[in-house]
Structure 1
Amino acid sequence: MSWQKELDELALRKQLAEKMGGPEKVERHRGMGRLPVRERIERLVDPGSFREVGALTGSGEYDEHGTLVDLTPSNFLTGRARVDGRPIVIAADDFTVRGGANDGAVGDKLLASECMARDLRLPLIRLVDGTGGGGSVKNIETKGYSLLPKLRMWPAMAQNLATVPVVSLALGSVAGLGAARVATSHYSVMVKNTSQLFIAGPPVVARIGQVLDKNELGGSNIHVRNGVVDDEVASEEQGFERARRFLSYLPRSVYDTAPRAEAIPPASSDFTWLRSVIPSESRQVYKMRPIVESLVDEGSFMEIGSKWGRSLIVGLARINGWPIALFASDPYYYGGAWDKQASEKFIRMLDIAEVFHLPVINLVDVPGFQIGLSAEKEGAMRYGVRALTAVAQSTVPWCTFIIRKAFGVAAGGHQSDGRFNFRYAWPSAQWGSLPIEGGLEVAYKREIESADDPAAKRAEIEERVHGLTSPFRSAEAFVIEDIVDPIESRSLLEEFVDVVAPLRGTGPRGFGFRP
């Protein structure tokens, strides 16, 4: 018995599925500067590695004899592939079919993609371009009833955040559930000008009197500055490269350890410039990123979220090939003080380190929490104590360098006091409950005001107290374990990663990632 008829039908169904929304809609999609979904997958993953799951899903059209004549494929593709030789799960919307709205069992496939990543313990990459399963108004007429919102996939999505790396790329106008899927990630990217993200799009928002175009309402310039999305790229290809790079620092799942890459020396072996990089005037700013780049393996620093929470620099890097999570203050913004956004950014990055068992390196120049009326109104203290609590709950190894300032409650979170950590100070370091300049007026108010020359008295007291704030005085009392020549910093980091490499644990943490 031959099954050729069935094999021919199988080939036909696959052929019809690959046409996506049809030539006209595919070309219209290209005209908007966006790649068709299957081409996106081809450019993201290793050549020939994509194995689709549910390729035959869709809505078939049949003649009077029950013979298939056409098929509108599902607008959601999923399957397994490889990225840089490592297995991953792909979940991708097809905007050319019903604008990515609920159609062709997309909801079931979406849930299947999340479960596949969770149960196979594989990283998940979402290519989001539409509502991603939330349905459309037209769908009400098609079905004859409206759907009660149910997030059947959300438990699996939450479990994935605690189990496998999740990357989401917003590649078009994403709204509702599609927007939520982008934000529910360890790392997310938008494409400048061609992708937007909304709770509800311009036609709906116009009903409340706000007439805005798509970029005005939800362009990348908005969401990379408010922290909803981590990064902005100029093209889809750049987004694919960012996704691949992010995954290269992380393990397949929490049950594995992150792979060690080739050990690449720093860009230069001459660190003498670090001795003079910190200005002697405490209010003078300097650039932290060159310091970061000089200490890690050359070209290995991947900054995340550079346009929000800007008083804090965070990202992933490598020391001797070992992946690490990195925090560094940026004195160019609020002098390095933490505001609401910086605290949120700190928690997100620390959660990634905790979930995937990455050691932490922290370069500190923190004058405290941001002060003033705006800080009080936005609840900076509430978000700040959440960040400090995350530090106290941290279990991964820490290595901290006090580069300059470490003042107040915010600086107290430079590492957890409940366990042993590596900690060093540069000679430029200064610390205390609050800066001397700000505390003198309170502590010596009566003495200063009663003096014949208050300004001279204040200067006299300041000079006297400053003499007692030398980090060497603190080292005598073991307040700081070691004060080091800045040129030693790289070798100390190499020792740190080598010592803690065998301690990198596996398995889930007590609680998951907080998006």
Structure 2
Amino acid sequence: MTEIRSALEAALEGGPERHRQKVAEQEKLPVRDRVERLLDSGSFSENALLANWEHEGLGADGVVTGMGTVGGRPIALMANDPAVKAGSWGAKTVEKILRVQEDAMRVGVPMVYLVDSAGARITDQVRMFPGRRGAGRIFHNQVRMSGQVPQVCLLFGPSAAGGAYIPAFCDVVIMRDGNASMYLGSPRMAQMVIGEEVTLEEMGGAKMHTGKSGCGHFLVKSDAEAIDTAQRYLSFMPGNWREPAPAAPPAEPAGGVISEIVPTDPKPAFDVTDLIDALVDEGSFLEVQKRWAKELVVGYARLDGRAIGIVANQPKQKGGVLFVDSSDKAARFISTCNAFNVPLVFLADVPGFMIGKDVERQGIIRHGAKMISAMSSATVPKLSVIVRKA
């Protein structure tokens, strides 16, 4: 019993003290504090706590997995421990992630990934990659889960090389400014292989991915804010595709006279978020990808307590004209709402798609077709309001 008790204490402790101190210096929450903050108090049921118990400094083999509740509703989660070899993966790490993904699919609950990992351990690659239950099956499972259960990624630190595909396959990615990064090749690799000099932020930082590439959906300032954002996002999502989107107590809009917000002349710009605030339940609007493709506003809100998805042209940004990125932004958001039974409200104030040689060479027709296809295949209720022009 003493040996088991010692093993449990070591597993809960995680990595060595010097690594835990480094986590604190980076202003990161310890992995178990992250899990505790995300979940309802006392709800967590952990899997495979003693994985790799016989090796010193490999508590839980660097990943916490299990199930709990958020706002009284069940979820499954995995959380890398940055204090255990920088959150790197071993063979048992992979197996733990696969098992909790399978639990999420079997039970039909959202899967939440708390990612902070340096990638695969060099010493374990022969064991963790080959075979039907190798690391590649994590992505296979994510693709199978897509549209079946919500998948949310909280990116607290690095997610490098193949590991970058965990956030890529999620419905939303929440990135911690200053710490989060994702890239297929590091700046050092780029310098050595292709002779490119680039910083980590330029290559795959949180600001870049939320403002340029569109791979990130929310930019946050702290671990705590990332967790709060994830909880808020999950409040709009059902447990799986078979369930309706959850309702909340209704509230009145924040106020504002629509005739004073929207000019009668179709040419002057105005801020469509002011119109949204005048329509939806006060404080309910959660804008998605706020920093990317700003000519289109998308996000979740509530009307009389019911969850809705909003797609709105933004006249104050490029006149609300649709470009390549905004077409992709709309297509992805519409598909997510359709998968999880969230009705769509369109606030249309758009001259149309952009024209010219630059956008044609970028594939505006191809990207526009994605948006049209998403619209055509969506079976949730759709309501379009022509604000001024369409």
TM value normalised by structure 1: 0.72
Paired residues of 1:129 and 1:178 also in contact (CA < 8 A):
no
Structure 1: which amino acid aligns with 2:298? V
SS in 1 for 2:89: coil
Cα 1:17–1:145 change in 2 (3 A) is closer
The answer to whether 1:279 aligns with 2:236 is no
SS in 2 for 1:200: coil
User: Structure 1 residues 267, 71: CA separation in 2 closer, same or farther (over 3 Å shift)?
Assistant: closer
Shift of residue 228 of structure 1? 0.5
Residues 100-499 of structure 1 aligned to structure 2 (within 5 Å): 100-103=87-90, 105-131=92-118, 135-139=120-124, 151-207=136-192, 208-225=194-211, 226-268=213-255, 273-406=257-390
Q: How far 1:150 moved relative to its partner?
A: 5.8
The CA deviation at 1:71 is 6.0
- 1:127 match: secondary structure: strand
Find the residue that maps to 2:243 and give its secondary structure.
coil
Unaligned runs of 5+ in 1: 1-6, 62-69, 407-515
Q: Quote how far apart the aligned CAs of 1:40 are.
A: 1.1
CA distance in 2, matches of 1:240, 1:76: 17
Rg comparison, structure with higher value: 1
Q: Distance in 2 between matches of 1:8 and 1:164?
A: 41
RMSD: 1.9
Measure, in 1, the Cα distance between the counterparts of 2:27 and 2:204: 18
Deviation at 1:33, TM superposition (A): 1.8
Question: Within the alignment, does 1:76 sit opposite 2:63 as a pair?
Answer: yes
Give the 3-state SS of the residue equivalent to 1:404 in structure 2.
Answer: coil
Q: CA deviation at 1:118?
A: 0.9
Of stretches 168-177 and 210-219 in structure 1, the one that deviates more from structure 2 is 210-219
- Deviation string for 1:122-178 (max 9, x for gaps)? 11110001145xx243445xx599859861122321122221111101101211232
The runs of 5 or more residues in structure 2 that have no matched partner are: none
Find the counterpart in structure 2 of residue 489 from structure 1: none
Question: Aligned partner of 2:58: which letter?
Answer: T
Deviations 1:364-398 (CA, angstroms, capped at 9, x unpaired): 00111012222112111110011111111111111
Cα distance in structure 1, aligned partners of 2:99 and 2:130: 20
Could you say what secondary structure the match of 1:251 adopts? coil
- Structure 2: distance between partners of 1:104 and 1:262: 46
CA distance in 2 between counterparts of 1:281 and 1:260 reads 37
- 1:348 deviates by 1.1
CA distance in 1, matches of 2:259, 2:57: 68
SS at match of 2:387: strand
Q: What are the equivalent positions in structure 2 for 1:38-77 lying under 5 Å apart?
A: 38-58=32-52, 60-61=54-55, 70=56, 72-73=58-59, 74-77=61-64
Q: Tell me if the contact between 1:288 and 1:328 (Cα under 8 Å) persists in the aligned partners.
A: yes
Q: How many percent identity over aligned positions?
A: 29
Contact 2:160 2:182 in 1 (8 A): yes
- Residues in 1 aligned to 2:51 and 2:162: alpha-carbon distance in whole angstroms: 21
Q: For 2:128 and 2:284, locate their aligned partners in 1 and report how far apart those are by CA, in whole Å.
A: 53
What's 1:475 paired with? none
Aligned length: 385
Query: Alignment partner of 1:42: what SS?
Result: helix
What is the one-letter code of the residue matched to 2:6? L
The runs of 4+ residues in structure 1 deviating greater than 4 Å are: 143-150
Take 2:171 and 2:147, find their aligned partners in 1: how far apart are those partners?
10
Tell me the SS of whatever aligns to 2:369.
helix
1:172-197 CA distance string (max 9 Å, x none): 12112322101211111101111111
